[in-house]
């Protein structure tokens, strides 16, 4: 068997391989930059969604305050607004609090640092 001896073209092959490796690294860098940009755009969308949700929560809180104020003005105070479940059945109200359904009972929907109780407005009685 004969041994392979380096030829005069080997430096050119090495240089070509080095250029190819560099181009691959540049392509990987470009992909990473595009992925980072896509993630930033997605974070912006999520932040806008959070801000919109916060606005809707504030508006619904104001609506609840308005309704409670009207009920109080008409002499119709509620004993426990928490007993009012989100149900259209007029016969739903009962004295059994085990039947009460409140939004966000599933605490897994909240972040690690908050609970439904942390977000309640004491004036609403919820």
Residues of the chain with pLDDT under 70: 1-8, 79-126
pLDDT of 77 reads 74
pLDDT of 46 reads 97
pLDDT of 35 reads 98
Which structure tokens are listed for 44?
A: 């912006």
d(CA 46, CA 39): 10
pLDDT of 76 reads 86
Total residue length of the chain: 126
Residue range 40-75, pLDDT digits in tens: 999 999 999 999 999 999 999 999 999 989 988 998
Q: What is the DSSP string of 105-116?
A: --GGGS-TT--G
Q: Where are the domains of the chain?
A: 8-77, 79-121
Q: Are 78 and 71 in contact (CB under 8 A)?
A: yes
d(CA 64, CA 16): 72
Q: Are 124 and 61 in contact (CB under 8 A)?
A: yes
pLDDT of 89 reads 52
Q: Could you tell me which of 55, 54, 82 has the C-alpha nearest to residue 68? A: 82
Determine if residue 59 is left, alpha or beta; phi over 0 gives left, psi from -120 to 50 gives alpha, anything else beta. alpha
pLDDT of 34 reads 98
Phi (first) and psi of residue 18, to 5 degrees: -65, -40
Q: Is the C-alpha dihedral spanning 90, 93, 98, 103 positive or negative?
A: positive
pTM score, whole prediction:
0.48
pLDDT of 9 reads 75
Can you give 23-44 as a three-state secondary structure string? HHHHHHHHHHHHHHHHHHHHHH
């Amino acid at each position: 068997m004969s041994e392979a001896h380096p030829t005069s073209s080997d430096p050119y092959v090495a240089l070509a391989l080095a250029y190819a490796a560099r181009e691959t690294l540049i392509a990987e860098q470009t992909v990473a930059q595009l992925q980072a940009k896509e993630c930033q755009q997605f974070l912006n969308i999520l932040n806008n969604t959070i801000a919109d949700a916060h606005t809707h929560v504030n508006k619904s809180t104001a609506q609840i305050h308005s309704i409670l104020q009207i009920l109080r003005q008409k002499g119709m105070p509620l004993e426990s607004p928490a007993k009012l479940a989100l149900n259209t059945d007029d016969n739903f109200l009962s004295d059994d609090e085990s039947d009460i359904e409140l939004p966000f009972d599933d605490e897994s929907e909240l972040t690690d640092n908050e609970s439904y109780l942390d977000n309640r407005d004491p004036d609403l009685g919820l």
